[in-house]
Amino acid sequence: MKRNDAMSKENADVWITGIGLLSSLGEGTNTHWAAMSGTAGSTVTPVLDEENYAPYPVHPLVEVDYATQIQKRGDLRQMEPWQRIGTYTAGLALADAGLAGDFEALDRMDMIVAAGSGERDAAMDQKVLESTSGESANKGHSNEILKSELRPTLFLAQLSNLLAGNISIVHKVTGSSRTYMGEELAGLASIENAYNRISSGQSDLMLIGGANNAERKDSLLIFEMGQNLWGEEFKSIWERAEAGGGLVQGSVGAFLVLESADYARARGAKAYAKLSGISSDRCRRDDGQAKDSLDSQFDKLSATMEKGDLGILSGASGTKQATAEELAFIQGLGNKGFTPIARAYGSMMGHSFEAQMPVGLALAAISLSKGEYLEPLDGSGVEASADKAPEQIMVTSVGHWRGEGLALLTSLDSKEAK
């Protein structure tokens, strides 16, 4: 499905007016900007935990005082970490947009959360495996263990839609609530749906985003079943792809407030950037299909774009084929008249599946509003430095397994910009 401004000029403009970010780098837009723009020090360095999940490095979550966004201890107790990360970050985005506590607005706000699901109780799983495997196996015994060890709260903390449910309870977002699933493509599809609903007038105020808790072996297991993880000394995204490929998970929360320009103006809200177009598609990932899909999506989206410098915030995971094809697409942009200034933000924040594309939109919006590109985030040579102010940034989403998409963000007139 493809829509963009070129096809529907009468449609409402879609602005990004609030951003919540939480990761290994810290919390909030300024902290992330400082860590990735070089202003915090001369070089940008990722934060890693290379011990607790060895041989897999992960980007661990910064220490968080959840009580600042999730005041009731009872609420916090009902959530496992991924829901805490998401609920906290949604609160940051609402506060950033000036909507926290605006109950009238929140009661009509539409929400889409892109979610996987929650943690297993690793100790209980180990107990079941030990008592029901091998020669002394007693499979009937698992009924007893599950009955005595499963906690009702853990079930609710596992349900995919309970991140949205917690956001409704804690922050009072109740206009509508939908949860998209499907790893990276859930993030992509939720942004596309929000864009389509706002630009067509079906909604004027939306909250979208997702969360990932990287620090859990049950989640590492799902991706290592297909040997998708990077299990050696840490390398950045492009370097990793060349050395055999693999993804490094990051604990991340990313939420965005999107609204129609008219709605934002009426309530006096400033915006980071405009979401000018978005496109998505799927293929079966035969050789070259992902690159072809990106090329044809780009050609449609770029019909109205000015040629020249183009920021690319790549959501590449580092897995071999997907990342190689995305890189070939980026490096082919020169032939289309664009000079790509690419940054793979996964090198700094890790890969966060459902939250990956919301992270990219957040960073692109911050970058446009600051009027600067992020620093190059690796030493592969793919990421050229740039001095000029970005006017347009494209965010890529190529799922480690499925789903390809592009989103175009453009800068706003200074009167309207944050």
Partner 1 sequence: MVNSLKDHLGRHVVVVTGMGVVTSLGQGQQDNWRDLTAAKSGIRHISRFSTEGLRTTIAGCIDFLNVDPYSAPALSIAMAESAASEAIEQANIGSKGDFPGPLFLATPPTELEWPQRRELYAEESDTTFEGYDRLLSACRANKHEEMQRLFQFASVGEHLADKYGTKGLPISLSTACASGGTAIQLGVEAIRRGDTDTALCVGTDGTVNLEALVRFSLLSALSTRNNPPEAAMASFSNDRDGFVMAEGAACLVLETYEKAKARGAEILGVLMGCGEHADDFHRTRTSPDGMPMIKTIQKALVDAGVESSDIGYVNAHGTSTPENDKMEYFSLKQAFGDVMETTPISSNKSMIGHTLSAAGAVEAVFSLMTMRNSMIPPTINYNTPDPDMGKIDVVPNKAREADVSAVISNSFGFGGQNVSVVYGREPK
Name residues contacting partner 1, limited to 255-314 (CB under 8 A): 280-282, 284
Minimum CB distance to partner 1 smaller for 283 or for 417: 283
CB of 116 to partner 1, least distance (A): 6
Indicate whether 405 belongs to the interface with partner 1 (CB under 8 A): yes
Minimum CB distance to partner 1 smaller for 165 or for 245: 165
Q: How far is CA 345 from CA 69, 164, 251, 312, in A?
A: 26, 26, 13, 10
Restricted to residues 110-149, the positions that interact with partner 1 (CB under 8 A) are 111, 115-117, 122-123, 125-126, 128-129, 132-134, 139-140, 142-144, 146-147
Task: Please name the amino acid found at residue 316.
Answer: A
Restricted to residues 161-200, the positions that interact with partner 1 (CB under 8 A) are 161-162, 164-166, 168-169, 172-183, 185-186, 188-189, 192-193, 196-197, 200
Minimum CB distance to partner 1 smaller for 39 or for 196: 196
Please calculate the CA angle 74-187-274 and round it to the nearest 5 degrees.
Answer: 105
CB of 73 to partner 1, least distance (A): 15
DSSP letter at 49 equals B
Applying CB under 8 A, the span of 32-40, 62-70, 253-261, 401-409 interacting with partner 1 comes to 401-409
Straight-line distance from the first to the last Cα atom of the chain, in angstroms, rounded to the nearest whole number: 31
SS (H, E, C) 219-261: HHHHHHCCCCECCCCCCCHHHHHHCCCCECEECEEEEEEEEEH
Binding-residue pattern over the window 40 to 79 for partner 1, x denoting contact by CB under 8 A: --------------------------------------x-
Q: Is 283 exposed, middle or buried (0-12, 13-18, 19+ CB in 10 A)?
A: middle
Minimum CB distance to partner 1 smaller for 119 or for 375: 119
CB of 310 to partner 1, least distance (A): 24
Binding-residue pattern over the window 337 to 376 for partner 1, x denoting contact by CB under 8 A: ----------------------------------------
DSSP letter at 325 equals H
Contacts of 277 (CB under 8 A, 6+ apart): 3, 4, 5, 6, 195, 301, 407, 408
DSSP letter at 381 equals S
Tokens 């035969």 belong to which residue? Answer: 286
Task: Please name the amino acid found at residue 52.
Answer: N
Structure tokens at 72: 């009731």
Applying CB under 8 A, the span of 84-92, 212-220, 343-351, 380-388 interacting with partner 1 comes to 212-220
Contact 363, 261 (CB under 8 A): no
Applying CB under 8 A, the span of 16-24, 157-165, 360-368, 376-384 interacting with partner 1 comes to 157-165
